[in-house]
C-alpha cells in the first residue's frame, strides 16, 4: 500500500555528483545539497569511474555531516538511493552509505532507477504548481540515455523509443571533444552556439524517414568529425572560433530537431497531451526552444514540462521524490 505523507532521504552518486536531499510527500524539498566533481574529471576530458568513486567517498562524508545538521529534527521515514544505471564504482559508494544509514535509522531502503527518476524533476520543482497528469509522455535525455517513455502511473511505464547507439548527452560530449571544447560538452556547445550560425553546415537529420520512435546520434557525430577533420585545417587562425561555433550550432540544431521529430511521432502514436522532459540535456534552453517552436509550427497541442536546470542533471531530490511512489508501509 502506498503511504502518503512520507519524508524520504535521497542519495545520488551515479556519476559525477554527490547529492543528498530530504523530500516530504514526494514534492516538498526540505533540504538538498549537491557537490559536483566535474572540475576533477574535466582534466581527463570525461568521467573516470574510479576517480569518481574516490571523490564520492571523500565528499559523501563531508556533505553528509553538513546535510544532517540542516535536517536536524525532521523525521526520516525511508532512505532512497540511486541504485540502478550509472558507473558501478560510483553507484556502490551511495548504495553502501544508504544501506548503513537505513540500518542505523531502522527504516526501509528503497533502491531507485535513476533514469526513470529523471522525469520527476517537475514534481520537486516548486515553480510547477500544477503537476502533469497521468498518462503522459516522458522524454529522458541524459549522458547515458535517450528514451521516450509512456507513463500510465509512476510505476507503470513503457519505453516506446530509445537510442540505437550513442545517447544524446554522450554525443554532445564527444562532439565537444572533437571541437576542442572541455567536458562536459553539452553546456559548452550550448554556450558557443549562441555566436554560431545553426544553418552553416547542413548535417543530415538522423532517421528522418524511419517509422520508429528510436534515436541515433553516432552517424551525426561521425559526420561532424569528418567535416571538422576536412575543413578545420583550411580555416585561418583568426576565424577558427567562428568555424567551431558554426559547427556546434549546426550539430545542436540537427540533434534537437531529430529529437523533436521523434517526439512528434510519439505524440501522434500515443495521443499524449503532456510531455515531461528530464535528464542533463533537458537543462539546455535551446532544446526547450526547439521543441516549443516545433510544436507551434506543426500545430501540435502538447503541454511541455521542463524543470529548472538543477533538477535536470543528477540530483538526490528526484531520487527521494520518485521514491515516495514506491514506498510501502
Ligand atoms: O543526467 P545527467 O546529469 O547525467 C547522466 O545521467 O548521464 O546528464 C549529463 C549529460 C552530459 O552528457 C552533459 O553534456 C549533458 O547532460 N548536458 C547538456 C547540457 N547540460 C548538460 N547537453 C546539452 N546541452 C546542455 N545545456
Ligand atoms: Zn542522470
- Nearest Cα neighbor of 293 from 270, 263, 323, 320 is 263
Nearest CA, atom 4, ligand 1: 143
Q: Does the Cβ of 173 fall within 6 Å of ligand 1? A: yes
Predicted confidence at residue 3, as pLDDT, reads: 54
pLDDT in tens, the chain (329 residues): 445 579 999 999 998 889 999 999 999 999 999 998 878 777 787 778 878 788 888 899 999 999 999 999 999 999 999 997 888 888 999 999 999 999 999 999 999 999 999 999 999 999 999 999 999 999 999 999 999 999 999 999 999 999 999 999 999 999 999 999 999 999 999 999 999 999 999 999 999 999 999 999 999 999 999 999 999 999 999 999 999 999 999 999 999 999 999 999 999 999 999 999 999 999 999 999 999 999 999 999 999 999 999 999 999 999 999 999 886 54
Three-state SS sequence of the chain: CECCCCEEEEEECCCCEEEEEEEECCCEEEEEEEEECHHHHHCCCCCCHHHHHHHHHHHHHHHHHHHHHHCCCCCCCEEEEEEECCCHHHHHHHHHHHHHHHHHHCCCEEEEEHHHHHHHHHHHCCCCCCCCCCCEEEEEECCCCEEEEEECCCCCEEEEEEECCCCHHHHHHHHHHHCCCCCCHHHHHHHHHCCCCCCCCCCCCCCCCCCCCCECCHHHHHHHHHHHHHHHHHCCHHHHHHHHHHHHHHHHHHHHHHHHHHHHHHHHHHCCCEEEEECHHHHCHHHHHHHHHHHHHHCCCCEEECCCHHHCCCCHHHHHHHHCCCCEC
User: Is residue 283 lining ligand 1, measured as CB closer than 6 Å?
Assistant: yes
Please report which ligand is nearest the Cα atom of 287: 1
Q: From the CB of 86, is ligand 1 less than 6 Å away?
A: no
Determine if ligand 1 sits within 6 Å of the CB of residue 47. Answer: no
169 CB near ligand 1 (under 6 Å): yes
Do residues 8 and 328 lie in contact, with contact meaning Cβ atoms separated by under 8 Å? no
Q: In the prediction, which pLDDT does 329 show?
A: 45
Pocket test residue of 35, 116, 183, 184 for ligand 1, highest count of atoms within 8 A of CB: 184
| pLDDT recorded at residue 4 | 56
Does 121 contact ligand 1 (Cβ within 6 A)? no
In angstroms, how far is CA 169 from the centroid of its own chain?
Answer: 8
CA of 313 to the centre of ligand 1 (A): 6
Quick check: CB of 184 below 6 Å from ligand 1?
yes
Q: How far is CA 250 from the centre of its chain?
A: 22
Distance 297 CA to ligand 2 centre (A): 31
Distance CA 175, CA 220 (A): 9
Query: What is the spatial distance between Cα 292 and Cα 288, in angstroms, rounded to a whole number?
Result: 6
Q: What is the pLDDT of residues 89-146, one digit of tens each?
A: 889 999 999 999 999 999 999 999 999 999 999 999 999 999 999 999 999 999 999 9
Sign of the CA dihedral 309, 313, 153, 291?
positive
- Sheet (strand 7-12) strand order: 28-36, 17-24, 7-12, 78-84, 109-113
Q: Is 275 in the pocket of ligand 1 (CB under 6 A)?
A: no
Residue with grid cell 510544436, as numbered in its chain: 295
Q: Are 254 and 203 in contact (CB under 8 A)?
A: yes
Parallel, antiparallel, or unpaired for β 274-278 and 28-36?
A: unpaired
Residue whose Cα lies nearest atom 2 of ligand 1: it is 280
Which is nearest to 141 in space by CA: 286, 300, 1, 6? 286
Amino acid at each position: 500500500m502506498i503511504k502518503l505523507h512520507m519524508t524520504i532521504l535521497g542519495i545520488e552518486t551515479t556519476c559525477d555528483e554527490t547529492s543528498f536531499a530530504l523530500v516530504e510527500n514526494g514534492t516538498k524539498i526540505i533540504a538538498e545539497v549537491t557537490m559536483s566533481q566535474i572540475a576533477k574529471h574535466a582534466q581527463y576530458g570525461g568521467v573516470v569511474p574510479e576517480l569518481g568513486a574516490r571523490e564520492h567517498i571523500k565528499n559523501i562524508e563531508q556533505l553528509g555531516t553538513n546535510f544532517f545538521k540542516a535536517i536536524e529534527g525532521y523525521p526520516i521515514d525511508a532512505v532512497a538511493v540511486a541504485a540502478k544505471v550509472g558507473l558501478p564504482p560510483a553507484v556502490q559508494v551511495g548504495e553502501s552509505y544508504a544501506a548503513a544509514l537505513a540500518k542505523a535509522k531502522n527504516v526501509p531502503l528503497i533502491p531507485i532507477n535513476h533514469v526513470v527518476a529523471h522525469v520527476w524533476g517537475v514534481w520537486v520543482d516548486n515553480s510547477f504548481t500544477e503537476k502533469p497528469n497521468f498518462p503522459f509522455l516522458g522524454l529522458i535525455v541524459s549522458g547515458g540515455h535517450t528514451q521516450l517513455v509512456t507513463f500510465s502511473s509512476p510505476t507503470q511505464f513503457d519505453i516506446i523509443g530509445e537510442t540505437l547507439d550513442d545517447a544524446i548527452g554522450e554525443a554532445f560530449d564527444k562532439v565537444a571533444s572533437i571541437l576542442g571544447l572541455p567536458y562536459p560538452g553539452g553546456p559548452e556547445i550550448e554556450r558557443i552556439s549562441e555566436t554560431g550560425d545553426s544553418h552553416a553546415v547542413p548535417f543530415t537529420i538522423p532517421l528522418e524517414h524511419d517509422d520508429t520512435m528510436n534515436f541515433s546520434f553516432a552517424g551525426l557525430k561521425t559526420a561532424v568529425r569528418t567535416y571538422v577533420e576536412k575543413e578545420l585545417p583550411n580555416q585561418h587562425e583568426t576565424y577558427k572560433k567562428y568555424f567551431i561555433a558554426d559547427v556546434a550550432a549546426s550539430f545542436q540544431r540537427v540533434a534537437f530537431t531529430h529529437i523533436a521529430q521523434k517526439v512528434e511521432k510519439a505524440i501522434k502514436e500515443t495521443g499524449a497531451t503532456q510531455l515531461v522532459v528530464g535528464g542533463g540535456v533537458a537543462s539546455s534552453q535551446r532544446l526547450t526552444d526547439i521543441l516549443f517552436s516545433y510544436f507551434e509550427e506543426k500545430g501540435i497541442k502538447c503541454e511541455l514540462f521542463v524543470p529548472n536546470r538543477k533538477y535536470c542533471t543528477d540530483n538526490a531530490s528526484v531520487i527521494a521524490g520518485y521514491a515516495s511512489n514506491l514506498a510501502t508501509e
